[in-house]
Amino acid sequence: MGAHVGSVGRFGIAGELLTMTVLPAPIRTCVGCRSRREQSALRRYVRAASGEVRESRSAAGRGAWICADSQNCLDRAFSTRGFDRALGARSFTKNTNFRNRLTMAK
């Protein structure tokens, strides 16, 4: 049984039919190329309270989504400071250890 795209009806307070659109999957924006893609096609990097950045889809904290199959998106995220904006810090694009670790993880 797959996801259904369409309108789902529900009755409101006055009895009128309310509709909402059901999306097939969560949509996220890549911090490198700014394209909107399904969550399954992206990787999420999260900044923990300790300041450490790691790849995790479910960890709490500020996260940055990046296309999983593109080195260009990773390079662009660093050059446009996309990681800095998404993770709420200014030091990630200047940190070469962080950049090298993400490049090797690909």
Any domain includes 34: yes
Any domain includes 4: no
Q: Please give the model's pTM, rounded to 2 decimal places.
A: 0.68
The 10s digit of each residue's pLDDT in 64-76 is 999 998 889 988 9
Q: How many domains does the chain have?
A: 1
Say whether pLDDT at 103 is over 70. Answer: no
Neighbours of 28 (CB within 10 A): 19
Any domain includes 20: no
Domain that holds residue 78: 29-105
In terms of pLDDT, which residue wins out, 82 or 5?
A: 82
Any domain includes 42: yes
CA 19 to chain centre: 27
CATH code where residue 73 lies:
3.30.1230.10
CA 91 – CA 98 distance, rounded (Å):
10
Any domain includes 74: yes
Any domain includes 95: yes
The 10s digit of each residue's pLDDT in 20-66 is 666 688 999 999 999 999 999 999 998 877 777 888 998 888 889 99
Question: Scanning the structure block, which residue is given the tokens 């797959």?
Answer: 2
Any domain includes 87: yes
